[in-house]
């Protein structure tokens, strides 16, 4: 079973869009998938069309009030969702528990072994919730948009990874996916090339092209495969799922698969 935190402290890079569509793409390939909404804004839950008033979800697990099987929702074939829950924001300000506060999520996911993949949509911050995701996972997926502000956010994220790796004495396997990508824009290509230099063999082969359909589909509670199955976005995310599972990455000689 592979458990990945989809994380970037910078907003607007397609983090939730990637979690939503990548989870569905993996399920469409025949894998059993659990998507976890760890963002108090609950955008992933809404994107699956599963947002309810005063909903209980991962918040109740982390507070020790429920088990995983009691809170997961079947949202697509072979795809379950652990929604955010209406009290998730309270955990960001939790004072009790000391260092154990960072392991609340990990300690509740023992039953997740039934899944082939677990994808965690993280909040755009480095607080307790984001730390819980990183301490629960051995892999991270970092969506990076084609602008230099994304590079700055990536540098800050690397410092956090290094601290966690040093503390736990284990490596976090890092994958990068280029999102909102315009191959014809020089700036996007320059950012791509810098990331390839910084992360050799870590940038997944398929970039996700900018797409209006990708921005629209969550508003209808649909993934891109339901909203526009023949769109660039659907093709890109289906290819990205295979890249992630097989470890297929870009090279500087052949930087783009799409």
Read off φ and ψ for residue 34, nearest 5 degrees.
-120, 125
Q: What is the pTM of this model?
A: 0.92
Return the minimum-mean-pLDDT range out of 78-92, 116-130, 137-151, 232-246.
137-151
Domain parsing of the chain, residue ranges? 3-246
Q: What is the CATH number of domain 3-246?
A: 3.40.50.300
**Taking 60 as the threshold, does the pLDDT of residue 52 lie above it?**
yes
Read off φ and ψ for residue 102, nearest 5 degrees.
-80, -10
Residue predicted with more confidence, 247 or 110 = 247
Three-class secondary structure of residue 178 per DSSP: strand
Strand order through the sheet with 79-82: 73-76, 79-82, 33-37, 117-121, 2-6, 139-145, 173-179
Interval 42-48 mean pLDDT: 96
């Amino acid at each position: 079973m592979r458990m990945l935190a989809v994380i970037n402290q910078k907003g607007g890079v397609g983090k939730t869009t990637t979690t939503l569509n990548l989870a569905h793409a993996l399920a469409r390939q025949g894998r059993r998938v659990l998507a976890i909404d760890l963002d108090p804004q609950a955008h992933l839950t809404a994107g699956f069309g599963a947002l309810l008033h005063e909903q209980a979800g991962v918040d109740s697990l982390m507070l020790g009030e429920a088990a995983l099987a009691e809170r997961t929702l079947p949202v697509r074939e072979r795809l379950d969702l652990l929604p955010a829950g209406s009290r998730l924001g309270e955990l960001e300000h939790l004072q009790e528990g000391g260092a154990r506060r960072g392991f609340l999520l990990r300690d509740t996911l023992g039953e997740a072994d039934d899944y082939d993949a677990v994808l965690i949509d993280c909040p755009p911050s480095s607080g307790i919730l984001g730390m819980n995701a990183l301490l629960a996972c051995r892999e991270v997926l970092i969506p990076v948009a084609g602008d230099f502000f994304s590079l700055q956010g990536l540098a800050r994220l690397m410092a956090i990874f290094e601290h966690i790796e040093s503390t736990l004495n284990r490596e976090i396997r890092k994958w990068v996916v280029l999102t909102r990508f315009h191959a014809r824009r020089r700036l996007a290509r320059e950012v791509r090339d810098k990331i390839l230099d910084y992360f050799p063999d870590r940038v997944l082969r398929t970039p996700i092209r900018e797409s209006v359909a990708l921005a629209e589909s969550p508003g209808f509670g649909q993934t891109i495969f339901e909203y526009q199955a023949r769109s660039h976005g659907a093709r890109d995310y289906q290819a990205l799922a295979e890249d992630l599972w097989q470890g297929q990455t870009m090279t500087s000689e052949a930087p783009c698969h799409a």
